[in-house]
Structure 1
Amino acid sequence: MAPPRQGQMRPGRQLAVLGLLFVVLYLLVFFAYGAKGDFRDRLHPKLGLDLVGGTRVTLEATQAGGRPPTAQQMEQARQIIEQRVNAKGVAEAEVVTEGNRNIVISLPGSNPNLNDIGNAAELRFRKVLKAADGSGAAPAPAPSANPSGSAAPSGSAAPKPSSSAAVKPAPSGSAKPAAAASPSSGGQGGGALAPTPTPSASASASPSPSGSAAAPAPNTAAVQAKVGAAAWQAASALQAPANVSQDPTLAAKLKPFGTLTGAEVAALPPAMQFNVPTITCDQLDHRPPASISGPDQQVVACEGGTQKELLDKAKVLGTDVSGASPQLDQQSRWVVSLKFKSDGQPKWTNLTREAFNNEGQGCDASALGQDQHCRVAVVLDNVVISSPEIQGVLSGDSQISGSFTSASATELANQLKFGALPVTFTPQEAQSITATLGAAYLRAGLLAAGIGMLLVAIYAFFYYRLLGTVIFLSLILSGLLVFGALVVLGRSIGFTLTLAGIAGFIVSLGVAADSFVIYFERLKDEIREGRSPRSAVPRAWARARRTIISANAITLMAAVVLYLVSVGTVKGFAFALGLATLLDLVVVFLFRHPIMTMFARTRAFLSPRVSGLGRVLHQDESEPTPRNPRVKEA
């Protein structure tokens, strides 16, 4: 008989390696990056939408003429939306396309407001020409025509922006990356103008069922007919924001404009949108997406939901920006650093020169900053997210400063950094999903798995006896490895456990149980051929090992292919199946074979009643039979 192999002579080495693997894995579980709370909290894997509940948002793509977007446009939009969701700090969001028009966002757990996630994000940099009150709370008199005068009488004019929000050159080496600093409250000693995120009014408003691509956009003639000839004539005659407090009859004539919807306001000329005081920021913010996307025309947009601004043509676009990031300046104040492309930098330099010098006196007194320089509005879709005053001619990287906090600076940087969606999306459905159904299925699945495992254990102990202990311990170790890997992968790569993933793990347990049957039945065959139990163990392992590896390799390949070609929950099933199968192979080589080698050296293993090899051992001892060459060859 050939001497046993070195690895079989020292099974303690494999068991020591397995023990070291467990120690490293659970050190990562309890003390690695992302471990928070007490020890019980650190043992919680990330659970999916079907287990913990969450939110599902459906966005429908709309295009002129009702044409569906191309597959390339939908995939590009899906990637951008996924980037936006991840930038908000949402863990394990699932963003998938559905049909040729819809994108579905599924978010487990409690998440921030994502109603604006489908906005087109068409970024424009426009000089602010005029400003007026857009709140609709009080009449707004016309601004003074005297260049040296004040913007407007106190208490009635549009609020004049503070210069605390400004664009200036980025000092080299002075800013610290946001990731390396603690969030600041921002705005120490700054003015009142804070960089305003995209107003929720334009995004959070529930879209009406008829507000999708199927509804035709109103034209100017239809709006004119709705407000009436008298109102239209009065609005067309305005050359500046009307002072309706001095002319009650004018206020009555312009009142119908306050009843227009956002889509109807979008059909009006920009001058009329700005000059008519009954057209408020609430209406302007509710205009359809991409209503002011044309770069070659003056537009009207609102900042902060109350200030209406007439904006110049867009001379710098979002496609000219190569990057944006939140940073801390030398005074530990949050700023947003801008980098422009090689062909975009000259455009930005020319725009800042024009704004800094107020060339041609294009900026009205109501639109100037505190230092009497023009402001440049950062316009995203239909709203102004910031309008900083230009502090100099900028020929390199720039910084937007203001009363930023860590969150607002990060949000503005993300809005500037991510590109515009290739198509416009309209929110169709936003529903909150409870975990009640998923929890019920989870309990039922775990109960079924527990009953199945109990039956397997009973059968293993009844049929294999001592060998059944090997099966039981191996399954426990595989389960502990899988659970620890789930927790670590949930923190490192964001893997989320769903019902489909649990199904994958349960299927893998069946594959693991099959490998035991292969090994033990091969062991019995070796004993039937006349070998002693001790010599049969390494021989059976050598032959069963190839079959076990082949079977698990096929399962792994199927899981990999399924993961690559599938989406959503099916991909989670494939990942869980592949992970559990791979860890089962680890247990096979580092526990099952070494422990069997150790059992083969015990007296209990040679006992027919204890080992589980009873009939085979009785036949080997009482009724020796000649070896069958065919069986041995097989």
Structure 2
Amino acid sequence: MANRALPARRYFGALVLIIAVMYGLIFFTGTDRTPQLGLDLRGGTTVTLTARTPDGQAPAPEDLELARQIIEQRVNGLGVAEAEVVTEGDANIVISVPGDDGDQARELGQTAQLRFRPVVTGPEPAAPAEATDSATPTDGATPTDSATPTDAATTTDAATPTDAATPTDAATESATATDAATPSDGAVSDPALDTDRPAVTQEEAAARYATLTCDAADTTTEVARPDDFVAACSEDGSVKYLLGPTIIEGTQIADASAGTQQTTGEWVVLLDFDSEGRTTWAEYTAANVGSNVAFTLDGRVVSAPTIQGAINGQTTITGSFDQAGAEELANQLRYGALPLTFEQATAQSISTELGAEQLRAGLIAGAIGIALVFVYALLYYRLLGLVMIVSLLLSAVVVYASLVLLGREIGFTLSLAGIAGFIVSIGITADSFVVYFERLKDEIREGRTLRSAVPRAWVRARRTILSADAVSFLAAAILYWLAIGDVKGFAFTLGLSTVLDLVVVFLFTHPLMAVLARFRSFGTSRFSGLGRVDRTRRSAAPSVPADRELVGAGSGTRASQDRSQP
């Protein structure tokens, strides 16, 4: 008996060691001792952005990662605490912002591509104007006084270079089409948008420009290639522009910041390019003094200043800026240079109160499910049901530790969909016990004692348990791979529970049954119900005449029947 008890002790010892290590890591290596909750349980906003390319193919992984980094910089620049920006699949970026203020998260994905384009025609009103002055743009990049355009051709000290690009008003801006329409040789191409279709010509873009109204139904944020001519609107939709092919990509911006001029105290925006962009910008500004250049963000013109001279270093953008306007333009230039265009696939905002209610509802649903399983197990299996209950509680202990450690190591957060996955997994785990116990009953019906039936039942039930859990895990893995958003949380917890189910069944349930089978009282109908199965088998067996019982007492019905055969 001592030799047979040794494997059970090994199984129990392995399980105890696993639990001790997990909880040792929880209490001695970190400060978080509870699972991280998703935004749908603690309140917040989740936005899923999907990359959009003209050919419909998935973007290059390096472009998607660069976009993620830039969006993450936007989040940090806005001062949003505890926000997360991660890639998901081969074309999605997920932005998660906790708290009740989710408007910023929605705005983070609205801007996709920043480009500098020459102004061929415009600005002019996007709709019939009642007065001439209504054509004047009023954003931070243009003067608010339409009668007096800003003059930025003044020399400043060393802190502010004299080479400046200054916005002008709509009444005085003009550009030479031949100069402005020709990009410099250093124009940057975008491999992600290269297709076989020909570039949009100036005539085609001009036809679009003639009918452009810039209202809500007439959007101008379609994917455009760098070498296309485009018709674009201002951010507020009040004026429109005809723009030439791209001069410089926003990815070539090294830095952009808001500041004040030391001599006048006026707010300005300081712009720096990388070495390649600086060379291209110097060549273009030298050849196009007096022309306008548009800064386009997602196809919308955020600023269209006039080039006052050749710019060989830092560019200073002046105008009728206040602090908010200068900082907004600086942020758009600094963080607007995404290498891909995105569309908002999903967006969900949950208030803190609603998140707490959903967490409470999820826990209640889980408790009800577990309680029903416990009641069924006790009524149908009696003491075997108690074994099932203890195994499920032990599984919960391991699951809790896993959630805490996964939250620390990989940032896994438990969502409402994840709780649903755990609730579903209760049935899968209970099914493993049902398969084992029913196989055990079959062995006893065949005339074996409980002690001999346990190992034989385990060998046969083990194959079924492994097959069922393998199918469940494979389904969860495929769902996790293909899904986005909350469905991934459901798939992850379902797969995790399936793996932990095997750990508990192999290291606890089966060894415990092997130990309990050594006690004769465990197999009685009073405790486990297995004795009732044995009595049913005996009553169903055919009776044997007394004169044919040739063996001594205790040999059992099977022996008597065997001896009675000719």
How far is 1:609 from its partner?
2.8
Q: 1:485 aligns with which of 392, 402, 411?
A: 402
Aligned to 1:524: 441
Q: 1:537 aligns with which of 429, 442, 454?
A: 454
Q: 1:350 aligns with which of 248, 257, 279?
A: 279
Aligned to 1:317: 249
Aligned to 1:367: none
The 1-side partners of 2:44 and 2:426 are apart by: 30
Aligned to 1:91: 84
Q: 1:25 aligns with which of 19, 22, 27?
A: 22
Q: 1:419 aligns with which of 339, 345, 360?
A: 339
1:163 aligns with 2:159: yes
Q: 1:43 aligns with which of 25, 34, 39?
A: 34
1:573 aligns with 2:563: no
Stretch moving more, 606-615 or 617-626: 617-626
Aligned to 1:583: 500
Aligned to 1:71: 56
SS in 1 for 2:527: helix
Aligned to 1:508: 425
Structure 2 counterparts to residues 57-456 of structure 1, below 5 A: 71-72=56-57, 84-86=70-72, 88=75, 90-91=83-84, 107=96, 109-110=98-99, 112-124=104-116, 134=142, 136=144, 143=151, 150-151=154-155, 163=159, 235=172, 315-318=247-250, 347-348=276-277, 350-351=279-280, 382-383=301-302, 415-416=336-337, 418-421=338-341, 432-434=349-351, 439-440=356-357, 442-456=359-373
User: CA 1:617/1:92 → structure 2, altered by over 3 Å: closer, same or farther?
Assistant: farther
Q: 1:597 aligns with which of 514, 518, 530?
A: 514
Conservation of the 8 A alpha-carbon contact between 1:85 and 1:93: no
User: CA 1:59/1:590 → structure 2, altered by over 3 Å: closer, same or farther?
Assistant: closer
1:457 aligns with 2:447: no
User: CA 1:53/1:349 → structure 2, altered by over 3 Å: closer, same or farther?
Assistant: closer
How far is 1:123 from its partner?
3.9
How far is 1:25 from its partner?
2.6
The 2-side partners of 1:295 and 1:15 are apart by: 69
Residue type of the alignment partner of 1:10: P
Conservation of the 8 A alpha-carbon contact between 1:78 and 1:96: no
The 2-side partners of 1:478 and 1:16 are apart by: 16
User: CA 1:459/1:380 → structure 2, altered by over 3 Å: closer, same or farther?
Assistant: closer
- Identity within the alignment, %: 38
The one-character-per-residue Cα deviations of 1:131-157 (angstroms, maximum 9, x if unpaired) are x98453798576497xxxx54xxxxxx
The 2-side partners of 1:54 and 1:419 are apart by: 27
Gaps of 5+ in 1: 63-67, 127-131, 152-159, 167-192, 194-230, 240-265, 269-286, 303-310, 327-335, 340-344, 365-375, 393-407, 630-634
SS in 2 for 1:72: coil
Residue type of the alignment partner of 2:14: V
Aligned to 2:558: 626
The 1-side partners of 2:69 and 2:286 are apart by: 39
The 1-side partners of 2:350 and 2:555 are apart by: 67
The one-character-per-residue Cα deviations of 1:319-377 (angstroms, maximum 9, x if unpaired) are 6x5x9799xxxxxxxxx9987xxxxx6x447347769xx9689599xxxxxxxxxxx99
The 2-side partners of 1:291 and 1:608 are apart by: 74
User: CA 1:456/1:82 → structure 2, altered by over 3 Å: closer, same or farther?
Assistant: same
Conservation of the 8 A alpha-carbon contact between 1:61 and 1:69: no
Q: 2:43 aligns with which of 50, 53, 57?
A: 53
How far is 1:556 from its partner?
1.6
Aligned to 2:124: none
Which of 1 and 2 has higher RCO (CA within 8 Å, sep 6+)? 1
User: CA 1:523/1:348 → structure 2, altered by over 3 Å: closer, same or farther?
Assistant: same
The one-character-per-residue Cα deviations of 1:156-178 (angstroms, maximum 9, x if unpaired) are xxxx5873799xxxxxxxxxxxx
The 2-side partners of 1:22 and 1:597 are apart by: 21
Aligned to 2:11: 14
The 2-side partners of 1:58 and 1:499 are apart by: 17
The one-character-per-residue Cα deviations of 1:523-548 (angstroms, maximum 9, x if unpaired) are 23323333332222222211211111
Conservation of the 8 A alpha-carbon contact between 1:529 and 1:627: no
Conservation of the 8 A alpha-carbon contact between 1:45 and 1:496: yes
Residue type of the alignment partner of 2:113: A
The one-character-per-residue Cα deviations of 1:239-282 (angstroms, maximum 9, x if unpaired) are 9xxxxxxxxxxxxxxxxxxxxxxxxxx979xxxxxxxxxxxxxx
Gaps of 5+ in 2: 76-81, 119-139, 177-207, 211-218, 235-242, 257-270, 315-328, 539-552, 562-566
Conservation of the 8 A alpha-carbon contact between 1:301 and 1:383: no
Q: 2:416 aligns with which of 496, 499, 502?
A: 499
Two-structure CA RMSD over aligned residues (Å):
5.9
Conservation of the 8 A alpha-carbon contact between 2:469 and 2:498: yes
The 1-side partners of 2:366 and 2:47 are apart by: 33
Conservation of the 8 A alpha-carbon contact between 1:124 and 1:318: yes
User: CA 1:12/1:317 → structure 2, altered by over 3 Å: closer, same or farther?
Assistant: same
How far is 1:501 from its partner?
2.2
User: CA 1:578/1:359 → structure 2, altered by over 3 Å: closer, same or farther?
Assistant: closer
Conservation of the 8 A alpha-carbon contact between 2:451 and 2:517: yes
Q: 2:468 aligns with which of 526, 551, 554?
A: 551
SS in 1 for 2:38: coil
1:610 aligns with 2:539: no
How far is 1:78 from its partner?
8.5
The 2-side partners of 1:312 and 1:616 are apart by: 87
Residue type of the alignment partner of 1:109: P
The 1-side partners of 2:347 and 2:473 are apart by: 37
Conservation of the 8 A alpha-carbon contact between 1:119 and 1:289: no
How far is 1:610 from its partner?
3.2
Conservation of the 8 A alpha-carbon contact between 1:46 and 1:487: no
If the length of structure 1 is used for normalisation, what is the TM-score? 0.52
Residue type of the alignment partner of 2:479: L
1:472 aligns with 2:389: yes
User: CA 1:15/1:117 → structure 2, altered by over 3 Å: closer, same or farther?
Assistant: same
SS in 2 for 1:46: coil
How far is 1:563 from its partner?
2.8
The 2-side partners of 1:514 and 1:569 are apart by: 26
Residue type of the alignment partner of 2:57: Q
Residue type of the alignment partner of 1:43: T
The 2-side partners of 1:44 and 1:529 are apart by: 48
Residue type of the alignment partner of 2:367: G
User: CA 1:390/1:383 → structure 2, altered by over 3 Å: closer, same or farther?
Assistant: farther
Conservation of the 8 A alpha-carbon contact between 2:39 and 2:355: no
Provide the aligned length of Structure 1 versus Structure 2.
434
